[in-house]
Amino acid sequence: MIRAFAPGRVNLIGDHTDYLGGYALPIAIDLGTTVAMEPGGDALELVSDSDPAPARVPVDVRPDGDALAAIEPAWARYVAAVVSLVRPAIGGVGKVSTTLPVGAGLSSSASLEVALALSLGFGGTATDLARLCQQAEHLATGTATGIMDQLASAAAVAGHAMLIDCRSLALRPVALPSDAAVVIVDSGQRRSVGASAYQQRRDECEAAQQVIGPLRDASAAEVSRLDDSLLRRRARHVVTENARVLAMAEALAGGDLRAAGRLMVESHASLRDDFEVSTPVLDRLVEDVLALPGVHGARMTGAGFGGFVVALVDAGAAEAAASHRSVSGRLVASSGPANCW
């Protein structure tokens, strides 16, 4: 029996920066996806504990996005996309189980892709694994997402957040201070406009880059040269968010939780006002979480339009914050990298 586990992730800061070659600072969490299978045959046959319909994918399935988009059930598209890229010699029969809420912004799909690729014998580096799984995500969903989620899962270091330079793919683990804890809170809202709005934001950033060049390298003065006020706000989010990620990595490394918390609050405001991917439900939840004792900072996390809020909390206050009657929080521990045994 082959088993593989890949963690989900929560992004501490740096959203809508990865697909623009910017910076992000996710942590892999102790929730994730496990694949257990008996190798054999010429197809991969999997059942899932999150969907009654099984996935059956021939090992010679081709990486053709249009064909994959027609596969049912929908979760089998991820399976087929990974199989089409890993190209295993033999299939298998097994089971997928996950402790992540599916489609809630904690990278349930990335963790499925990474666990699957490992269980099928992918043997490259963590970065190669993340690249392959990012491509699988594109094939399965048709949305050109960045590499943060897959890299956070594949290359995680326990006890650390991961500073990702999404241009060079250089990784720098940043130790989480021992007096800090990370709490995630479910808004209960699930993104319905997510994929199209994501692509729209990408296109708007692309349009801004046509005028002022790569946003990763742009200064505030260059951003202010954009005549179109919508493009100016989008670009301002990206440029300021990249700076906040680097500042947050330094704040955490220096144990300055107050500074780290302030940066998270600024990040939320930027995602809400300039990038416009928050929702009133998320905004209210961030306010509620910020009002709890021991909370240094809180923000929406991931693509937006629902999902989770992430908070940086004093370790001693984390249990109380997570179980406060006004929020449905969960204290998360950091996870090590995806692995196969």
Positions marked catalytic? 149
Binding to ligand GLA (CB under 6 A): which residues in 163-192? none
Of the pair 24, 318, the CB lying nearest ligand GLA is at: 24
CB 107 within 8 A of CB 149: yes
- Extract the tokens encoding 286: 């961030």
Of the pair 11, 48, the CB lying nearest ligand GLA is at: 11
Told to check if 239 binds ligand GLA by CB under 6 A, we report no
**Alpha helix stretches (DSSP H) within the chain:** 65-69, 75-86, 108-119, 126-141, 148-154, 194-212, 220-224, 229-253, 257-273, 280-290, 318-322
Told to check if 305 binds ligand GLA by CB under 6 A, we report no
* Count, residues in the chain: 341
C-alpha 300/C-alpha 323 separation (Å) is 19
| Residue nearest to ligand GLA according to CB distances in the complex | 146
Residue 228 identity (one-letter amino acid): D
The 10 Å Cβ neighbour count of residue 146 is 23
The 10 Å Cβ neighbour count of residue 283 is 17
Told to check if 15 binds ligand GLA by CB under 6 A, we report yes
Told to check if 244 binds ligand GLA by CB under 6 A, we report no
Pick the binder of ligand GLA from 6, 16, 231, 308 (CB under 6 A).
Answer: 16
Told to check if 146 binds ligand GLA by CB under 6 A, we report yes
Residue 134 identity (one-letter amino acid): Q
Told to check if 7 binds ligand GLA by CB under 6 A, we report no
- Extract the tokens encoding 117: 């690729």
Maximum alpha-carbon separation in the chain: 60
| Choices 94-102, 144-152, 184-192, 315-323 (CB under 6 A): range interacting with ligand GLA | 144-152
Of the pair 22, 294, the CB lying nearest ligand GLA is at: 22
Of the pair 59, 285, the CB lying nearest ligand GLA is at: 285
Cα within 13 Å of Cα(263), Cβ side: 24
> Please, which residues have CB within 8 angstroms of residue 184's CB and are 6 or more apart in sequence?
10, 29, 106, 301, 308, 309, 310, 311, 329, 330, 332
Residue with tokens 């809180």: 298
Told to check if 241 binds ligand GLA by CB under 6 A, we report no
Residue 313 identity (one-letter amino acid): V
- In whole angstroms, the minimum distance from the beta carbon of 287 to ligand GLA comes to 22
Q: Is 213 exposed, middle or buried (0-12, 13-18, 19+ CB in 10 A)?
A: exposed
- Extract the tokens encoding 263: 């940066």
Total interface residues for ligand GLA by CB under 6 A: 10
Pick the binder of ligand GLA from 19, 23, 78, 275 (CB under 6 A).
Answer: 19
| Choices 91-99, 146-154, 185-193, 263-271 (CB under 6 A): range interacting with ligand GLA | 146-154
- In whole angstroms, the minimum distance from the beta carbon of 156 to ligand GLA comes to 16
Told to check if 266 binds ligand GLA by CB under 6 A, we report no
- In whole angstroms, the minimum distance from the beta carbon of 47 to ligand GLA comes to 26
Told to check if 306 binds ligand GLA by CB under 6 A, we report no
Of the pair 146, 261, the CB lying nearest ligand GLA is at: 146
Using the 8-state DSSP alphabet, how is residue 245 labeled? H
Told to check if 274 binds ligand GLA by CB under 6 A, we report no
Residues within the interface to ligand GLA (CB under 6 A): 15-16, 18-19, 145-146, 148-149, 302-303
